[in-house]
Chain A
């Protein structure tokens, strides 16, 4: 993502290809260079046309539909019944569950992203070491990433189960608890249980981005740090961490987006609980349209627009706070 910068600022540098060195005497080559560097709009449309069509047709169109739907009234069967003005937005904002849902979303995103980053730093550091069988360990780490989230979520409903869950069986056996814990049913446990699964499935991708970042750090800076008498901890804090910054930023931003938009884990693990008590804004929106008693398409669309705005603002705020542009 960070590669956007050189391009944005690169517009000023476009004049460079025109000033060909004097030794470059062949006119054909000079023309070719100019041609390669710059093109009019209609040529660009030829190359970008398919991508634009796909984005406009399947990303922008649904956004427009969403805006339209959010301003309309719908019957329970999904037929448009006329304009609603801003009524849908007002209703969503007035929904009793909204406060809970927003808090849940905040807890979910912050907890999952923060824990994922912390654990992944350690995992990445480990995967970057050289040892026998490293290849196999790396393959193992990939598995939760490769498995579909629904499958993993479904699996964890069983692992967490009050009656026949392996986790309760194990905890009882080693004597950590006396009575089974209702991981997916008791209000205190549902969110932590979901967060644990969220972290578990987010680590592999994050660790890989960080391994990539570690790989990009040249070995001689460590040599220099060692010669300057830095302890391993100092070397990590003063050399690794700052140089890893771009990778950490990319991983954090992508995780924020993925985790915020994450649907299957919450939808599946929270299935047995009625109401919106443990929903995030994403599952809240989905239930409004497809599962609630009202099946209210208009309200769900309004909630969907809120979601889009929330993630845009959150990502921009994060980039702002960490001064993405200036330092990386």
Chain B
């Protein structure tokens, strides 16, 4: 899980030419790769800084013909937007908290202990991974309709938590399994019970896995769309992903605000991702690949 990865393949006949060129060629290639992944979002950024009328003008122009700097102020001052933002924050945080609290004991226990039904439980988790809320959306709607929870945060929090649980359990399970048993035995000799061992020792050892699972869940919940689209009927209870679509409808077209709001929705996630970038590689290795 080291941050630095040595380039494993060096060209066999590493010529002097390539050696001198490499420090210049690779960053340029890197710039091209970065651009390949960023260009649509650069278009988005440019469209957020021009009046909506300029966005939908023929012929299209890549640079704004007329600049507009007030979009972000408009969006952040829009009460609808703030309501959507609040929903997204509350739902993503709560879903993540539920997943972490529920997944840790399950992952730890299945990684360390044999008990009747263990294989069945792990199989159940594996099957859950294949179900998406999308294909079950009709069933989900009917369940929460029965429970009278349509249009509540509770409904989407539970759904997000349940459908992200499997992934979190797998990642954490992988990490807990990879920690040597001797460490726990030592803790036990010092008088730690199983819960104390988990909380005091295992969690800090499995921190990369925990970080990965947490951030993944948060991002999945933050970006969830279909269930929220179906369950959240009141405009002010919708999350960002659903809400911002009302900036551009058949009746009103505020492309600048749609993209301004989108950028506000994307930036925190990119920052979170960037923060765990080094964990991301290690987290995926131990949890899913190994």
Residue contact B174 to A3, C-beta cutoff 8 Å? yes
Contact among B105, B138, B259 with A300 in the assembled complex (CB-CB below 8 Å):
B138
Asked if B113 is at the interface of the complex by the 8 Å CB criterion, the answer is yes
Could you mark each residue 126-151 of chain A with 1 if its beta carbon is under 8 Å from any beta carbon of chain B, else 0?
11111111111111111111111111
Complex Cα–Cα for A169 and B46 (A):
15
Residue of A nearest to B127 (CB): A312
Given known A41-B117, A285-B135, contact A169–B23 (CB-CB < 8 A): no
Interface centre among A14, A41, A137, A151 (most CB of B within 10 A): A151
- Which residues of B, 161-175, contact A by the 8 Å Cβ criterion? 161-163, 165, 169-170, 173-174
Residue contact A50 to B130, C-beta cutoff 8 Å? no
Interface centre among A37, A158, A308 (most CB of B within 10 A): A158
Residue contact A166 to B105, C-beta cutoff 8 Å? no
Residue of B nearest to A151 (CB): B262
- Which residues of B, 191-210, contact A by the 8 Å Cβ criterion? 194
On chain A, the residues within 8 Å of B91 by CB distance are: none
Q: How far is the CB of A151 from chain B (nearest CB, A)?
A: 4
Given known A131-B26, A154-B262, A212-B289, contact A36–B163 (CB-CB < 8 A): no
* Majority secondary structure, B binding face: helix
Asked if A11 is at the interface of the complex by the 8 Å CB criterion, the answer is yes
On chain A, the residues within 8 Å of B140 by CB distance are: 58, 62, 65
* Majority secondary structure, A binding face: helix
- Which residues of A, 201-250, contact B by the 8 Å Cβ criterion? 203-204, 208-209, 211-217, 219, 222, 226, 230-232, 235-236, 240, 246-247, 250
Residue contact A150 to B173, C-beta cutoff 8 Å? no
Q: How far is the CB of A4 from chain B (nearest CB, A)?
A: 6
Contact among A3, A150, A226, A304 with B177 in the assembled complex (CB-CB below 8 Å):
A3
Asked if B77 is at the interface of the complex by the 8 Å CB criterion, the answer is no
Complex Cα–Cα for A235 and B10 (A):
10
Could you mark each residue 89-121 of chain B with 1 if its beta carbon is under 8 Å from any beta carbon of chain A, else 0?
000000000100111011011101111111101
On chain B, the residues within 8 Å of A149 by CB distance are: 223, 225
Could you mark each residue 281-301 of chain A with 1 if its beta carbon is under 8 Å from any beta carbon of chain B, else 0?
010011001100000010011
Residue contact A51 to B169, C-beta cutoff 8 Å? yes
Asked if B277 is at the interface of the complex by the 8 Å CB criterion, the answer is yes
Total A-B pairs, Cβ < 8 A: 350
On chain A, the residues within 8 Å of B241 by CB distance are: 148, 150-151
Q: How far is the CB of A202 from chain B (nearest CB, A)?
A: 12
Asked if B217 is at the interface of the complex by the 8 Å CB criterion, the answer is no
Given known A137-B33, A163-B56, contact A69–B128 (CB-CB < 8 A): no
Asked if A165 is at the interface of the complex by the 8 Å CB criterion, the answer is yes
Asked if A90 is at the interface of the complex by the 8 Å CB criterion, the answer is no
Q: Which of A94-102, A110-118, A187-195, A256-264 lines the interface with chain B?
A: A256-264
- Interface size bucket, B side? 35 or more
Residue contact B226 to A286, C-beta cutoff 8 Å? yes
Tally of A interface residues using CB under 8 Å: 123
Complex Cα–Cα for A48 and B27 (A):
49
Complex Cα–Cα for A138 and B60 (A):
31
List the interface of chain B (C-beta within 8 A of A).
Answer: 4-9, 11-12, 22-23, 26-27, 29-31, 33-35, 37-38, 40-41, 43-44, 47, 55-62, 98, 101-103, 105-106, 108-110, 112-119, 121-132, 134-140, 142-143, 146, 158-159, 161-163, 165, 169-170, 173-174, 177, 184-185, 188-189, 194, 219, 222-223, 225-226, 230, 240-242, 244-245, 248, 255, 258-259, 262, 265-266, 269-270, 272-274, 277, 280-282, 284-285, 287-290
Known: A7-B110, A164-B55, A300-B138. 15 other contacts (CB 8 A): A10-B114, A58-B143, A62-B139, A128-B7, A128-B8, A143-B270, A148-B262, A150-B242, A161-B60, A169-B62, A208-B284, A222-B8, A246-B289, A257-B132, A311-B135
Q: List 9 A-B contacts (CB under 8 A).
A: A4-B122, A6-B177, A37-B114, A50-B101, A65-B139, A65-B143, A131-B26, A140-B33, A144-B40
